[in-house]
Structure 1
Amino acid sequence: MDLILWRHAEAADPEPGQADMQRALTSKGQKQARRMAEWLTSQLPDSCKVLVSPAVRTLQTVEPLGRKFRVQPEIGPGADPHELLRVANWPNARDPVLIVGHQPTLGQVAALLLSGEPQYWEMKKACAWWFVQREPNDPASLYLKAAMAPDLIVK
């Protein structure tokens, strides 16, 4: 199974009285989202399922990808890393799954997959980490296929 974790792009600080879920992308964040979407579009198979947190910043991050997606409240801010993997049907899904979510959960998922512990690993804004596990019942077949940042994408 392929699992791609994509952290939302740069978002504005909350306005006074504004809920965290309503924070929108900055102009820099919009550019980051477009660049990463271009790279993902060139890499993802058509069969990839896209699951997105309900936060405005994640919805705006996935928009330039131009694919159908499903909003999953279970992967919103503060989500449990084990719950995120359950929602993705890791490692049993037939098709690749792209998750657009938040820190610290995405870093915890990456750590859980690679080390067996949900540690606090940093994943920078707008970055994507691509994991592959060739055999669902063989954790030894897991590897990190790619770790991409928007500023590394050459136009």
Structure 2
Amino acid sequence: MIWLLRHGDAHDPEPGQSDAERPLTEKGERQARAAGVALARLGVEIDCCLASPRVRARETARLACEALGVEVEIEPVLQGGRFEPEALAAGRGSQVLLVGHEPDFSRAVRELTGAVAQMKKGGLAGCDPGLLHVLLRPAELRAIAGA
């Protein structure tokens, strides 16, 4: 199963700050923690987490993975643009979490499953090739997490 977690809410760029350097807001931090706790409460055992090198995605991955007991690996392919989720997940276990950006993640859901979805900031999708198992918005993840 491939899990796709869109980064949480991020600050607007400061003058002179690049888009890649934007950190999470407090709301984004809560979204990231809730995603990790929700996955843990659902009994999902993540084998590997790959995250975009952009600050907001790295922070989302780190905070989500605290509840999952998983180390985060940085994957430059996830920083923006089309990627192949199956190729990234290959050989990394049966439950792989990818953390990144839009519109790339909605496109990945469509390419994996055929489903048309729009990933919200802090949203999560669980996919297998040909099947969308679950699409959860941040509010649903908060409810599962009990936050």
User: Secondary structure of 2:59's match?
Assistant: helix
Give, in whole Å, the separation in 1 of the partners of 2:11 and 2:93.
Answer: 36
Name the structure 1 match of 2:131. Answer: 143
C-alpha offsets along residues 74-126 of structure 1, whole Å, 9 cap, x if unaligned?
111x22133x442222xx7642111000001101111111229xx8x521100
Question: Could you tell me the TM-score, scaled by structure 1's length?
Answer: 0.80
Residue 70 to residue 93, structure 1, CA distance change in 2 (3 Å) = closer
Give, in whole Å, the separation in 2 of the partners of 1:6 and 1:44.
Answer: 14
2:124 and 2:137 in contact (8 A); partners too: yes
Aligned-residue offset at 1:131: 0.7
* Mapping for residues 1-155 of structure 1, pairs under 5 Å: 2-42=1-41, 43-46=43-46, 48-64=47-63, 65-66=65-66, 67-76=70-79, 78-82=80-84, 84-89=85-90, 94-115=93-114, 121-133=117-129, 142-152=130-140, 153-154=142-143, 155=146
Give, in whole Å, the separation in 2 of the partners of 1:79 and 1:86.
Answer: 15
Give, in whole Å, the separation in 2 of the partners of 1:36 and 1:94.
Answer: 20
Give, in whole Å, the separation in 2 of the partners of 1:60 and 1:144.
Answer: 26
Q: How many residues align?
A: 138
Aligned-residue offset at 1:150: 2.2
CA RMSD of superposed structures (Å):
2.0
- Show structure 1 runs of 5+ residues with no match: 134-141
What is the percentage of aligned positions where both structures have the same residue? 30
Give, in whole Å, the separation in 2 of the partners of 1:31 and 1:109.
Answer: 25
Question: Match for 1:45: what amino acid?
Answer: E
Question: Could you tell me the TM-score, scaled by structure 2's length?
Answer: 0.84
Give, in whole Å, the separation in 2 of the partners of 1:52 and 1:147.
Answer: 19
Give, in whole Å, the separation in 1 of the partners of 2:76 and 2:83.
Answer: 13
Give, in whole Å, the separation in 2 of the partners of 1:128 and 1:54.
Answer: 19
C-alpha offsets along residues 4-30 of structure 1, whole Å, 9 cap, x if unaligned?
000000001111110111100011111
Larger radius of gyration: 1
Question: Match for 1:104: what amino acid?
Answer: P
